[in-house]
Amino acid sequence: MMRFTRSKKGMIGSAIVAAAALAVSALPAQAASTETQGVTATQITLGISQPTNGPASYGYNKVAPAMDAYFKYVNANGGVNGRKIKLIVKNDGYKVTDAVNKTVELISRDKVFALVGSLGTANNIAVSNAVDLAGQGIPSLYVNSGFSGFANKSTYKTMFPLFPTYYMETKVLGEYIKKNFPGKKVGIIYQDDDFGDDALAGLKQAGVTPAASIPYASLSQSAATAATWVSKLKTADAEVVIMYGVTSAAAFALGTAYALGYKPQWIIDSVGGVSATLQLLGIQAPLLNGVITSSFLPASTDTTDEYIKLFQTINTKYNVAGTKFDDNVVTGMNTAMMTVAALKAAGKNLTRSGVIKAIETKGKTFPSASLAQPQFSTTSHVGYNGFWIGTYDATGTLKPETGKYKIYTTDSGSGAVKVSTWKRPAMPAKGLPK
């Protein structure tokens, strides 16, 4: 009878070899290789966890395919330092537990080099803690959230938010309201979590005191709850209403208010105010007429913008056939472009710490469609820092307030809101970061 010892290993060697092929997906990461996990001589594997189906997927389910389309475009043009990019997309249904599960799969089974574009404040907090991204040195590039806490480099050492923060957004909107709607009673409906709390704090910093402040718990939005919002806003005589929530909540608010004959000046945040997504949720374009929102990317309808023109071309050639070009596609492609810039800047000898260092030291100059400048530095992981404000017309097209983009910049503290003087550099040749 044989014992199960090292001396037996030679005898079972063939079994190990045979099993290794079967077991490769379950094999553990080796410490020595974690810096370059997901990188071969010819390929860089990236991963994203986001909802591709379910009630939270509207609009967001276009982001990953758009990223993939841009990566395919880059691959067709030589790749990144000779390597092709492979993007693995996992559907987390926007559920916290699934986001953790899928991220573990991406890292341990699919062996991705980095995460990119992961969606959601709560999900990213959960993943960061449960998977210990910082402890493992795993880059989480350009998370799809404006939660100001993610810019805390000491807590989220390997995470890089891209979007300007929710705090910045309401500071900007607050200043806009004070200037454009002086004396009007303001109401705010906000998601009662880190997302909305950030926004409420920014509005307070801007010196706007709402006459009605209505929180709603994430996942509680419905036509019935929206009716209670409208009732409270009416009671408070709110004339200007900030809707600071996700698109499903914004859709319920707009639709219910319309049905109840309540017509304030709506101002919707950049998350919930995406025309294409609102229309997918049943809000007809004419209902958006006059609604104000903010953005940091050029409007997807702005065909004068060189980035938009390029992205439209890529969308047609490389995205899933029939994908309608909209702001979600622009977001995805811009995130992908920033990713390629980071990977290129990290050099031929690509490592996880190398890409983090590249963003910290060079990220401020990465090419991007954004009209606000990235702020990455060795001391800060803040991404973009500003917004332009626009108004939807009856076709659902967002028009800048003065006919052209005016960027308001600020910070997530007590800094002033200023009109930016930064000019976005010309797009690199063919839209390929150097």
**What does the binding site for another protein look like in residue numbers (CB under 8 A)?**
1-7, 9, 11-12, 15-16, 19-20, 22-24, 26-29, 53-57, 93-98, 101, 104, 107-108, 121-122, 125-126, 129-132, 135-136, 191-194, 196-197, 215-220, 222
Provide the 8-state DSSP code for 410. -
8 Å CB contact between 267 and 243: yes
Between 134 and 285, whose beta carbon lies closer to another protein? 134
Q: What spatial distance separates the first Cα and last Cα of the chain, rounded to whole Å?
A: 64
Least separation, in Å, of the C-beta of 8 and another protein? 8
> What are 267's two structure tokens?
């101002």
8 Å CB contact between 73 and 61: no
d(CA 274, CA 246): 10
Between 94 and 266, whose beta carbon lies closer to another protein? 94
Between 14 and 379, whose beta carbon lies closer to another protein? 14
Least separation, in Å, of the C-beta of 258 and another protein? 22
Between 2 and 41, whose beta carbon lies closer to another protein? 2
Least separation, in Å, of the C-beta of 148 and another protein? 13
Least separation, in Å, of the C-beta of 249 and another protein? 12
User: Is residue 79 left, alpha or beta, with left meaning phi > 0 and alpha meaning psi from -120 to 50?
Assistant: left
Least separation, in Å, of the C-beta of 401 and another protein? 32
8 Å CB contact between 190 and 213: yes
C-alpha dihedral sign at 296, 300, 306, 307: positive
Distances from the Cα of 293 to the Cα of 194, 271, 396, angstroms: 20, 9, 12
Least separation, in Å, of the C-beta of 94 and another protein? 8
Least separation, in Å, of the C-beta of 218 and another protein? 4
Between 137 and 400, whose beta carbon lies closer to another protein? 137
Between 54 and 400, whose beta carbon lies closer to another protein? 54
Orientation of helix 194-205 relative to helix 121-131, angle to 10°: 120
Between 14 and 304, whose beta carbon lies closer to another protein? 14
Closest by Cα among 281, 211, 209, 280 to 249:
281
